[in-house]
Amino acid sequence: MTVTTRPLTEDHGTRSRLVAAAAELVHAESYHAVGVKAICDRARVRRGSFYHFFDSKQALVLEAVEKIWEEFSREVLEVCRDRTLGPQARLEAMVDRIHRRHLRDRDRTGSVLGCCFGNLTAEATTLDEAIRQRLVRVFDDWAAALEAPLTDAQQLGEIDREATPRAIALEMISELQGLILMAKARNEPAVISSGGRNMIARLWGAGPHTRPHAGADRTPKEPA
């Protein structure tokens, strides 16, 4: 007797649609406002298919956060590792990429949706522990990406060494989250670009060895 099974590609496609739908809805609305039915409707799958792949909404949202983080890392943070640019230029490029993401959201939906990670964090006191802990790791990993250009800047004497790169990175992320929140309130992505560049300019002006804009040839030499 021949046994037929559903192709794995169909399973993968259904799961991917559910993850994509959850990412879109949680970003645009909130964790608590979005139910399983709304996610299934957006993904164009039956509710029973949801429970074939996920035990709960929490499990799906955790996977959606992973998807958003992977996209954010690739689209926004990869430039922080590009040592063909100077440290300041890398951070400015990161801010520009964040600005473009929010501009794209507004062009697509009519609204600045804010940072998905920040939006979820605002619900952190009522989220379960697994999601809260994942958000902590998101911000820690974001800070780790910023540490590379900040460390280079300190080695070049472009910014002072009063604070560690880690501490500066966390402060920068906190300020960026505030700028994104203000951009969401005003529905104006330009707030992120202007505020983010001002933040970086202040950092470069804070040290005793202020230097001009870091260009492509302003990177520390590798140790011999």
The residue whose two tokens read 């060895």 is 209
Work out the average pLDDT over 5-13.
48
In tens, the pLDDT along 61-99 reads 999 999 999 999 999 999 999 999 999 999 999 999 999
Distances (CA, A) of 65 to 10, 53, 150, 189, 223: 22, 16, 26, 22, 37
Domain count for the chain: 1
In tens, the pLDDT along 160-194 reads 899 999 999 999 999 999 999 999 999 999 999 99
Residue at 7 is within a domain = no
List CB contacts of 119: < 8 A, sequence separation 6 or more.
26, 27, 30, 113
Residue at 13 is within a domain = no
Residue type, 47: R
How does DSSP classify residue 223?
P
Host domain of residue 171: 61-206
Output the average pLDDT for the chain: 86
Q: How far is CA 219 from the centre of its chain?
A: 25
Closest CA to 101 of 213, 196, 30: 196
Residue at 222 is within a domain = no
Residue at 41 is within a domain = no
CB count, 10 Å around CB of 200?
Answer: 21
CATH number at residue 146: 1.10.357.10
Closest CA to 97 of 204, 168, 189: 189
Residue at 140 is within a domain = yes
More confident residue, 2 or 163: 163
Instruction: Return the pLDDT at 127.
Output: 73
Q: Is 153 helix (H, G, I), strand (E, B) or coil?
A: helix
Under the banding of pLDDT at 50, 70 and 90, the label for residue 128 is confident
The two structure tokens encoding residue 107: 């062009």
Instruction: Return the pLDDT at 215.
Output: 40
Q: Of all helices (H) and strands (E), which one includes residue 195?
A: helix 190-206
Residue at 168 is within a domain = yes
The residue whose two tokens read 């006191």 is 125
More confident residue, 86 or 212: 86
Residue at 71 is within a domain = yes
Distances (CA, A) of 109 to 53, 105, 206: 29, 6, 39
* E-strand stretches of 25-105: none
Residues 183, 185, 188, 194, Cα dihedral to 10°: -30
Residue at 49 is within a domain = no
pTM, to two decimals: 0.83
Least confident piece of the model among 36-45, 47-56, 154-163, 213-222:
213-222
Under the banding of pLDDT at 50, 70 and 90, the label for residue 12 is low
Residue type, 155: Q
The two structure tokens encoding residue 88: 């300041």
The two structure tokens encoding residue 5: 């099974």
